[in-house]
Chain A
Amino acid sequence: MLEIVYSPQWFYGIDIIFEFINVIAAILIAFFSYKVYKFTREKRCLFFGLSFIAISLSFISKILTNFQFYYNFFRKSSIINSALITVTTHKSLNFFVSAYFFHRFFMLLALTGLFFIVGKYHKRLIPLFIFFIAVITAFSTYEYFIYHVTTSLLLGYIFYHYYANYSYCKTKNTFLVAFSFFLILISQIVFINIITGIENYVLAQVIQVLGYIILLIAYIRISKNDKKNKARHN
């Protein structure tokens, strides 16, 4: 059976706010990365930015899905005409499936991109990975946990590289980035455990948004540093 929404009722809408914060963090980092690319002309920066664009697209797809679901949920409660409800639900199901497909596809694409950029792996493996992403996305539409197991594995590798980066260069910003990816990894592991209790969805969402807020803090610290520099020179 296809299950789409795992959120407890009292959390409806709050998760949209959380995901909106994630989108803002991802877009700001993508924009900054593009600026770095324009300045340095290093392609890694361009692909890093594109990965974060994919993250934001993934969350936007999920926001649209949840928004549509919650809208229908609250409308269903007030509409009496059952025929209308059936039509709406049927149309919505197609929308949900495609939007969730894009949510998962973009997120897996983004994490694979980060995996290659941060890990500095060989480019030749990319087509193989894209094939796996397509297969996993298709399967994960029906098996919820496959998607989160895959994202956990990718995030595990990404976190490992960020931890190594922090060990090599112990600054507050490298720590913040490593810690944020650690939290995002934990959130994915908690998402797997939704089967054991729907409250885990709330916990996972909270941990995930904390991860993205910390990424945002790291971004703000870097851009503030620039303002300090400019002030010092003037």
Chain B
Amino acid sequence: MTRRTKLDIINDMLVSVREKGGKIKPTHLMYKANLSYKLLNTYLEDLVKNEMMQEVKGKNDNTYLIITDKGLEFLAEFKKMREFQQSFGI
């Protein structure tokens, strides 16, 4: 199995949030995207900074992560790019 690239990890994280209806708890995201706590925080910081994800407070003051329109755009673009690479064998 090949190592995931940075883009693959970001894609996995965003897909995990989308599959959960666009809202997920950080711990669930960590398990679903198969990441360590340290890596989760590193990538999360990037995603929030680039406005692909947002941190919101839910009931009982729990932190949730939601996917933004920019995050959804990234997913669409990434899928197209990977399909191109797969089809053309690159």
Q: Which residues of A contact B (CB under 8 A)?
A: 29, 32-33, 35-36, 39-40, 42, 44-45, 48, 117-118, 161-162, 165, 169, 171, 173-174, 176-177, 218, 222-223, 225-226, 229-230, 233
A-B contact count (CB 8 A): 70
Note all chain A residues with C-beta closer than 8 A to B89. Answer: 117-118, 161-162, 165, 174, 177
User: Please, how many angstroms separate the alpha-carbon atoms of A117 and B79 in the complex?
Assistant: 21
Report A215 CB to chain B, min CB distance, Å: 9
B90–A223 CB distance below 8 A: no
Contacts A/B (CB < 8 Å), 20 sampled: A29-B88, A33-B84, A39-B77, A40-B81, A42-B90, A45-B85, A48-B90, A118-B88, A161-B89, A162-B89, A171-B87, A174-B89, A177-B87, A177-B88, A222-B84, A225-B80, A225-B83, A229-B79, A230-B76, A233-B76
Q: Is the CB of A222 within 8 A of B87?
A: yes
When the two chains form their complex, are residues A173 and B83 in contact, meaning their CB atoms are under 8 A apart? yes
CA distance A103 to B7 in the complex (A): 38
Q: Are B90 and A118 in contact (CB under 8 A)?
A: yes
Interface size bracket, B side:
20 to 34
Closest B residue by C-beta to A158 = B89
- Chain B residue nearest to A41 (CB atoms) is B7
Let me know if B76 and A229 touch, CB within 8 A.
Answer: yes
When distances are taken between beta carbons in the complex, the residues of chain B under 8 Å from A118 are 88-90
| Contact call B87/A174, Cβ cutoff below 8 A | yes
Closest partner residue, chain B, to A224 (CB atom): B80
Q: Report the Cα distance A97→B73, complex, angstroms.
A: 49
B72: interface (CB < 8 Å): yes
A117 pairs with B90, CB closer than 8 A: yes
Contact indicator B84/A174 (Cβ below 8 Å)? no
Alpha-carbon distance A40/B90, docked complex (angstroms)? 12
Please determine whether B87 and A39 come into contact, CB atoms closer than 8 angstroms: no
Q: How far, in whole Å, are A161 and B88 apart by their CA atoms in the complex?
A: 10
Please name all residues of chain A whose beta carbon is closer than 8 Å to the beta carbon of B90 when the two chains form the complex.
33, 42, 44-45, 48, 117-118
Q: What 1/0 mask marks residues of chain B from 1 to 29 whose CB sits below 8 Å from any chain A CB?
A: 00001010000000000000000000000
Residues of chain B within 8 A of A222, CB atoms compared: 80, 83-84, 87
Residue B86 is within 8 A (CB to CB) of chain A in the complex: yes
> Roughly how many angstroms separate A25 CA and B83 CA in the complex, as a whole number?
18
